[in-house]
C-alpha cells in the first residue's frame, strides 16, 4: 500500500461513498479514472495510466533543462523527474504555491515522471454508454493528449492520456539545447 498511497486512499474513499449511496463498489462501471484539475480545467486520467498520486515531495532543481522541468525527487529510491504540467502546456495555473499542489506519477514504458497539477479530486467511475468520441477542441492545449470524453451528471469529463504525453518528443527532450 505504501507505493500506491494516495491512490489507495482515493479508492477507499470511493468505496465508502459507494456504501453510503448504495452503489456496490464499482459494479456496473466499465472505466475508472483519477480526476484532477489544472488551470481551472477538470480532466480525468485512466487509472491504468496513473501509477500513484503524491503530495509535492522535496526535490532538487536541475541545471540546463526547460523551465517546466521543476526538478528531480527521490521517491522510495527512484529518481522522479517533476514537470509543471501547466507550464509545459503554456497555460496559467491556479495561484497555489508549488508545495500545495499534487503530483500524478506516470510509469509508462520507459517514462517515469511526475506531473505537477493544481489538485487531485478523487476517482470517478463511468459506463461505456457515457463515453463520447468527441475531443476537447483543437485550440485547447490539452488537445494532443485528449482521447474523448465522458458525459455524466450533466458534466463533460475530458480524458487526459498520460501515455500520449509520454510520446510527445517535446516532453521527452527536457534538456536545453
Half-sphere exposure of 151 (CA within 13 A, CB side): 7
pLDDT digits (tens, 9 = 90+) for 68-89: 999 999 999 999 999 999 999 9
Say if residues 123 and 32 touch (Cβ distance below 8 Å). yes
CATH of domain 2-172: 2.40.50.180
HSE, side-chain direction, 13 A CA sphere, residue 159: 24
pLDDT given for residue 110 in this prediction:
81
pLDDT of residue 99: 83
Q: Looking at residue 6, what is its pLDDT?
A: 55
Instruction: Give CA–CA dist 138/144, Å, rounded.
Output: 8
Instruction: Quote the CA–CA distance of 37 and 99 in Å, as a whole number.
Output: 16
The whole-number average pLDDT for the span 77-105 is: 91
pLDDT (mean) for 158-176: 93
For residue 2, name the pLDDT band (cuts at 50, 70, 90).
very low
pLDDT at residue 163, rounded to an integer: 92
Average pLDDT, the chain: 87
For 8-44, the pLDDT digits (tens) are: 656 666 666 666 655 555 456 789 999 999 999 999 9
pLDDT at position 24? 53
155 pLDDT more than 50:
yes
Number of H helices, E strands in the chain: 4, 11
Domain spans of the chain, in order of start: 2-172
pLDDT of residue 15: 64
Q: Which pLDDT value is given to residue 1? A: 38
Q: Is residue 56 scored above 60 in pLDDT?
A: yes
What confidence score (pLDDT) does residue 72 get?
97
Give the single-character DSSP code of 20.
H
Amino acid at each position: 500500500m505504501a507505493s500506491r498511497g494516495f491512490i489507495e486512499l482515493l479508492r477507499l474513499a470511493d468505496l465508502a461513498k459507494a456504501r453510503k449511496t448504495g452503489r456496490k463498489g464499482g459494479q456496473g462501471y466499465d472505466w475508472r479514472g483519477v480526476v484532477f484539475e489544472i488551470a481551472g480545467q477538470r480532466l480525468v486520467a485512466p487509472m491504468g495510466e496513473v501509477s500513484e498520486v503524491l503530495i509535492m515531495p522535496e526535490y532538487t532543481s536541475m541545471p540546463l533543462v526547460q523551465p517546466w522541468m521543476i526538478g528531480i525527487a527521490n521517491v522510495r529510491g527512484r529518481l522522479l523527474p517533476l514537470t509543471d504540467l501547466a507550464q509545459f502546456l503554456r497555460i496559467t495555473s491556479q495561484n497555489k504555491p508549488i508545495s500545495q499542489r499534487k503530483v500524478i506519477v506516470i510509469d509508462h514504458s520507459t517514462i517515469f515522471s511526475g506531473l505537477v497539477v493544481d489538485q487531485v479530486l478523487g476517482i470517478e467511475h463511468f459506463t461505456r454508454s457515457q463515453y463520447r468520441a468527441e475531443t476537447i477542441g483543437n485550440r485547447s492545449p490539452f488537445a494532443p493528449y485528449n482521447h474523448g470524453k465522458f458525459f455524466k451528471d450533466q458534466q463533460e469529463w475530458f480524458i487526459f492520456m498520460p501515455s500520449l504525453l509520454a510520446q510527445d518528443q517535446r516532453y521527452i527532450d527536457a534538456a536545453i539545447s
